[in-house]
């Protein structure tokens, strides 16, 4: 079994974890990021279909001055990257130490440090451990390892769910604009114009919440029906994919820019405000 010794381990290569690693690197540290997925970016996610990108996580990010360094386009809805949002994560990860496909599951507090173990069998000793997963996921991990008090305010932070159908249509749909359909239950998004044949159909948060546990097959056939009764039905759907997010955006925020659980154990990310501001506040503290 591999055994590493690190000063600081950051869990998650989303924008919070990447930015925090950059800030700590600028202070002369060399933190290690563990990321459970193959890709980088977390909820900033782009699916490549026929070599073109379609965003299915955040289509925009709330503005932060730091994002200007990455050629983002600033709009009233937030900032976005023309080439697909995960280009941001790729650029942010430059020169950082990241181990992908390593899912942290065991945290053992020792006298002055932590022993970590991933599901894949990697073992690490570290002094500082920072969790950047959506708060309920971080809470679950800490609960499993008996690290969180019953009274912790972190338990109150809930997230909205998201369900999205990514579709590739037969024909060029560049001229289409975005619109809501059937009240505000569905939104067809074309505004990002990434893919000349691509379309994103997003359910309202209320609808996503109520149907989230239904099977993917069920949801897919329902969404195809929505598409068929929409004004777009004359365009044939060539391929489509369902994307679901159990934790999309926080419904309320923790009342501080990061949380300290115990000496060396911290949480930051979008449950604490703007994910980049949260990372900044924690980097200043460490």
Ligand X SMILES: Cc1cc2nc3c(=O)[nH]c(=O)nc-3n(C[C@H](O)[C@H](O)[C@H](O)COP(=O)(O)OP(=O)(O)OC[C@H]3O[C@@H](n4cnc5c(N)ncnc54)[C@H](O)[C@@H]3O)c2cc1C
Question: Which residues of this chain interact with ligand X, rule CB under 6 A?
Answer: 11-17, 34-37, 42-44, 57-62, 78, 103-104, 132-134, 137, 141, 162, 245, 248-249, 269-270, 275
What is the smallest separation between the CB atom of 15 and ligand X, expressed in angstroms? 5
Give the residue with the Cβ less far from ligand X, 235 or 261.
Answer: 261
| Nearest Cα residue to 192 out of 33, 48, 55 | 55
Residue 163 CA to residue 147 CA, distance in Å, equals: 32
Give the residue with the Cβ less far from ligand X, 264 or 278.
Answer: 278
CA distances from 76 to 61, 62, 68 (A): 11, 9, 15
What is the smallest separation between the CB atom of 36 and ligand X, expressed in angstroms? 4
Q: Are the CB atoms for 159 and 247 separated by under 8 Å?
A: yes
What is the smallest separation between the CB atom of 79 and ligand X, expressed in angstroms? 8
What is the smallest separation between the CB atom of 172 and ligand X, expressed in angstroms? 25
Give the residue with the Cβ less far from ligand X, 199 or 235.
Answer: 199
What is the smallest separation between the CB atom of 13 and ligand X, expressed in angstroms? 5
Give the residue with the Cβ less far from ligand X, 264 or 273.
Answer: 273
Give the residue with the Cβ less far from ligand X, 235 or 269.
Answer: 269
What is the smallest separation between the CB atom of 262 and ligand X, expressed in angstroms? 18
Write phi, then psi, for 49 (nearest 5 degrees).
-125, 130
Q: Are the CB atoms for 258 and 285 separated by under 8 Å?
A: yes
How does 31-66 read in b/e, with b if 16+ C-beta sit within 10 Å? bbbbbbeebbbbbbbbbebeebbbbbbbbbbebbeb
Q: Are the CB atoms for 180 and 228 separated by under 8 Å?
A: no
What is the smallest separation between the CB atom of 45 and ligand X, expressed in angstroms? 7
SS3 of 210, please?
helix
Give the residue with the Cβ less far from ligand X, 49 or 267.
Answer: 267
Beta-carbon count within 10 A of 143 CB: 13
Give the residue with the Cβ less far from ligand X, 49 or 142.
Answer: 142
Q: Going by C-beta distance under 8 Å and a sequence separation of 6 or more, which residues neighbour residue 26? A: none
SS3 of 206, please?
helix
């Amino acid at each position: 079994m591999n055994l590493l010794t690190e000063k600081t381990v950051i869990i998650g290569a989303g924008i919070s974890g990447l930015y925090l690693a950059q800030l700590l690197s600028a202070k002369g540290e060399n933190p290690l990021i563990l990321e459970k997925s193959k890709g980088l970016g977390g909820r900033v996610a782009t699916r490549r279909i026929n070599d073109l990108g379609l965003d299915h996580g955040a289509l925009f990010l709330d503005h932060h001055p730091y994002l200007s360094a990455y050629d983002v386009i600033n709009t009233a809805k937030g900032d976005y990257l023309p080439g697909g949002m995960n280009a941001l994560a790729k650029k942010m990860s430059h020169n950082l130490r990241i181990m992908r496909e390593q899912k942290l599951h065991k945290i053992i507090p020792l006298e002055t440090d932590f022993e970590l173990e991933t599901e894949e069998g990697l073992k690490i000793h570290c002094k500082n451990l920072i969790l950047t997963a959506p708060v309920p996921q971080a809470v679950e991990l800490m609960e499993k390892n008996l690290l969180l008090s019953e009274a912790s305010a972190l338990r109150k932070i809930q997230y909205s769910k998201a369900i999205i159908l990514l579709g590739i249509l037969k024909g060029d749909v560049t001229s289409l604009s975005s619109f809501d359909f059937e009240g505000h239950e569905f939104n067809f998004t074309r505004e990002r114009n990434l893919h000349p044949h691509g379309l994103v159909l997003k359910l309202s948060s209320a609808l996503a919440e109520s149907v989230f546990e239904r099977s993917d097959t069920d949801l897919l056939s329902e969404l195809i029906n929505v598409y068929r009764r929409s004004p777009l039905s004359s365009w044939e759907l060539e391929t489509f994919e369902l994307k679901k997010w159990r934790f999309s955006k926080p419904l309320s925020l923790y009342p501080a820019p990061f949380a300290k659980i115990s000496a060396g154990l911290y949480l930051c990310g979008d449950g604490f405000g703007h994910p980049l501001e949260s990372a900044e506040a924690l980097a200043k503290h460490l």
